[in-house]
Each structure stands twice: as C-alpha cells, then as structure tokens.
Amino acid sequence: MTSPMKLGAVIITMGDRPDELRALLDSVIAQEGDRIEVVVVGNGAPVGSVPAGVRTVELPENLGIPGGRNVGIEAFGPSGADVDALLFLDDDGLLPGRDTAELCRQAFGADPKLGIITFRITDPDTGATQRRHVPRLRAADPTRSSRVTTFLGGANAVRTRVLAEAGPLPEQFFYAHEETDLAWRALDAGWMIDYRADLVLHHPTTAPSRHAVHHRMVARNRVWLARRNLPAPLVPLYLGVWLLLTLVRRPSPPALKAWFGGFREGWATSCGPRRPMKWRTVWRLTRLGRPPVI
C-alpha cells in the first residue's frame, strides 16, 4: 500500500485581514484526512496570531504575490520537496467543504500526469462565480469541470514535482499573469491542469481593477509572458490580439494610459530568461481550446 499524499498549504498575507485569515486557517485545519502543514507568509507585514502548529515567515518587504508564494514554497524544502503537493489559497478565502484536500489527493493519485488543480471560486453570499474565475474561453457554465490551460492563483493545488521541473513563479511579475507563466511551463514539461468545479473556495466578489496598478501590471506582464514563453512568430500575434481586445473593451482614458505605459515597459525592460515552448505544446494548448494567441 502507498502512503497518503502529503499536502502543505501556502498563504500570503499583508496582515490587514486577520479575521478572514483566521477563518481560512480554521477551514484548512478542519480538512479530513492527514494533517496539512501550513505556512503563512507575511509579505512585508507581521502575520499576527495564528493557530498552534501553523508556521509563519515574516518578510521585511513586500515581494509581490509570486515572490511571497515562492518563499512559502521554499519553506517546505527546495521546490517544496518535503510535501507532495501544495495548496495556494487567498488569505480572504475559505474552504467550505471539509473534503477538499482528500479530493485533491484522489485526483492527483488517479492521474500521474495531473500537475495542477484549480478550484471554483464562489461568492459566499450569492454562490456566484465571476466569469473571469473560470480559466477557459467557454466560461458560461462554471459548474462544468474540464481540462484547462491556466489556473487561479489563490485557489489551487500544485504537485511539487511541477515546481521542481518547471521552476518557481516569476517573481519579477509582482502581480498579474504569474499563474499563466507557470501553467505554460508546466504544460510544456508534459503536465496537465484541471479545473474542478466541485472543489470550492469561498471568496468575496471583487473587481480586479480595484488595485491601483492593475492596468499597468496586466499590460507589462502580458508582454513579459509572451517574450518569455512563446515561439517568436507568435509573440506579435498574441500581443496584437490583446491590444485589440483592450481597445474593444473601451477602458477609461486613465486606465488606457496606464495600460499603454505598462505595454511599453514590457518591451523596454528585462522579462527574465526566455524559454519558448515547443510547437507541440502550442498544438496541445490549441486542442484544449486556448491557442496561445488569446
């Protein structure tokens, strides 16, 4: 008999949601099956009080979402090697079901090529799932599970072998598109990603543009994403499509100005190491319904 899959959890916090963080930690501790070891990373802020047995790491400065999560990963050994898979959860989220961890273990155990599981995010009051939280083009039915080509950063489980083979999250992104960068590298390494509608994280409905730097970061990181990962002929095609989509959505003049500033910054600054995906990965993304031109 094989031993149960060991799970860990990484939660980053800015220290400004202590009640929500405590509720999330309680929901992780309440999961059925073997205990989940939890690390909370204070991203440039003190963590505050946590339940017994929860480890904390307090960083002197805010490293951004990918940087903070990478610190949490390394708290479980190189590339998280002390556990088999890691849950990444937003600090204002909550796991309403006690079987989420066990369902993750079962899914990973049943499919050795499954590298990442992304959960369904629902509003705790309305039960609604925002369209942007369904990581595929055909997003009308959020209750349908499927294979996908990216995942949701604050509601997922990642097999640590994926991190060892594909590398960590891109710290220089700070915020936005870091999940897709890792997803593309994981797919290029032969792993698969599942959206599981039965694995739910409660999270209050928010607008992504609530962040002051949202439009600049989204545009800059979109350019970096393409420059780092796409075969050269697809880079202008991918970015041209997203430029047109941005204009069609008719953002406000200040938002559009910030977007173009980020777009220019993405070309003018280093994107980190370039590792273009194989053309067979391009074909795999296309067969999964999300060719890497959109």
Query: Considering the domain 7-202, what is its CATH architecture?
Result: Alpha-Beta Complex (3.90)
Looking at residue 207, what is its pLDDT?
A: 75
Give me the residues paired with residue 86 across strands.
8, 158
Exposed / middle / buried, residue 95 (Cβ in 10 Å: 0-12, 13-18, 19+):
buried
Q: Which amino acid appears at position 267 of this protein?
A: W
Looking at residue 208, what is its pLDDT?
A: 67
Cα gap 181→151, rounded to integer Å: 10
Name the one residue in this structure whose structure tokens are 């959020």. Answer: 142
Looking at residue 3, what is its pLDDT?
A: 75
Per-residue pLDDT of 90-146, as tens digits, reads 999 999 999 999 999 999 999 999 999 999 999 999 999 999 999 999 999 999 999
Q: What is the pTM of this model?
A: 0.96
Both tokens of 283, joined, read 């074909």
Cα gap 9→154, rounded to integer Å: 11
Looking at residue 63, what is its pLDDT?
A: 98
Cα gap 225→235, rounded to integer Å: 9
Looking at residue 209, what is its pLDDT?
A: 58
Per-residue pLDDT of 238-253, as tens digits, reads 999 999 999 999 999 9
Sign, CA dihedral 240-246-247-248, equals positive
Give me the residues paired with residue 7 across strands.
85
Q: End-to-end CA distance of the chain, in Å?
A: 44
- 3-class secondary-structure state, position 74: helix
Tell which residue, 56, 54, 72, has the closest CA to residue 64.
Answer: 72
Name the one residue in this structure whose structure tokens are 């949490």. Answer: 72
Average pLDDT, consecutive stretches of 10 residues, N- to C-terminus, the chain (294 residues): 86 96 98 98 97 97 98 98 98 98 98 98 96 94 98 97 98 97 98 98 81 85 98 98 95 92 97 97 96 93
Count CB-CB contacts under 10 A for residue 187.
25
Looking at residue 206, what is its pLDDT?
A: 81
- Pairing, β 114-122 against β 192-202: parallel
Cα gap 158→161, rounded to integer Å: 8
Looking at residue 213, what is its pLDDT?
A: 83
Q: What is the DSSP string of 167-202?
A: ----GGG-SSSHHHHHHHHHHHTT-EEEEEEEEEEE
